[in-house]
Structure 1
């Protein structure tokens, strides 16, 4: 079981001024935790989904000016990358922890994936009400699944994923910093695994299993 616990110091990394200073803090403070979670949950996904999954810890290598506002470890069944595939993520913004399943704009088959999700929208609507949905992986903002169901934003997000080149779809949990830092390592592990367990059937729909 993971011994990872998030602290206020982890979240404060994303408030440090300067690219070099923030990257140094990120590499020392946060990335080792993502590496550990990567090893652990890659094994989890490989076991649960019947194919080998690989962890991808964000490197932020292309940045030359702006420091990263968030960071993460992603999981996908491809060793060389994850952005073109539906993938799972554990990550941090300065305000919250996120545990999500994502389809981002680089995915070449996202229109097909969106059609599959639209066909099984009722399964999405049965996920826990504290889940969130988002249409932009570059933004910390999201809406609750409960709100998305009430206002039919869920279908709108899926249609945008299908029809708009920049359309994206993320679903999972956002845990506010204040709550995340109070969780023990055991509680955090349990919450993360419970979130992914709820998302596994959705992943199987996306990939056509």
Structure 2
């Protein structure tokens, strides 16, 4: 399914050109892997999950710098709730768990983050305060990322995994299962955070 040619969509610097390539080359892959992820998530957790593929409809001038599918547990939308994304920047695949700046009930997630901080660090996920940037910090910086998320209203809380376009695994091919496995591993955070928040 996924292969190193996926990144060629970002070589087109025009808005209609890049959108056309995303819709033709990546969205069908997102549909396929997204359906498989939903199937696995619902079998694993016996709960309902919802998927949305980015359409970039608000863009009128600049081409999107990245593209993704999002999965969450709220059918009303994913941005105001804990959610997972699988997508591409021009130089890497990413799988992330996010609590965005304007998430509903934001302070309620602070103690949950502290409770699972050691687990996240031990598992070695990348961390960030900005979902609009491809750069992630090492898991050892999680305490700083959490502190900023608690203090700065505009900051996000992002935890995830990245697979660079020049990684030998990508060059060799056959890494769909790796992406699925990482997504499923990260999914437990989304489910836990939703369950803990609702208590």
| TM-score scaled by length of structure 2 | 0.89
C-alpha distance in 1 between matches for 2:101 and 2:44: 26
Please state how far the C-alpha of 1:183 moved relative to its aligned partner. Answer: 5.1
* Aligned pairs (5 A) from 1:1-209: 4-8=1-5, 10-127=6-123, 129=124, 131-145=125-139, 149=140, 153-179=141-167, 181-182=170-171, 184-185=173-174, 187-189=175-177, 191-209=178-196
Q: Is the 8 A contact 1:60 1:68 kept in 2?
A: yes
1:107 alignment partner, SS class: coil
Q: Which moved more, 1:172-181 or 1:192-201?
A: 192-201
Q: 1:94 & 1:143 partners in 2: Cα distance? A: 18
Change (3 A) 1:17 1:110: same
Change (3 A) 1:29 1:196: closer
Cα distance, 1:67 vs structure 2: 0.7
Q: How many residues align?
A: 195
Tell me whether 68-77 or 79-88 shows the greater mean CA deviation: 79-88
SS state of the match for residue 167, structure 1? coil
- Report the aligned-residue RMSD: 1.8
The 8 Å contact of residues 13 and 22 in structure 1, kept in 2 or not, is answered as yes
Distance 1:109 1:164 in 2: 15
- In the alignment, structure 1 segments of 5+ residues that lack a partner are none
Deviation, structure 1 residue 82: 0.5
Any gaps of 5 or more consecutive residues in structure 2? none
Q: Matched residue of 2:52: which SS?
A: strand
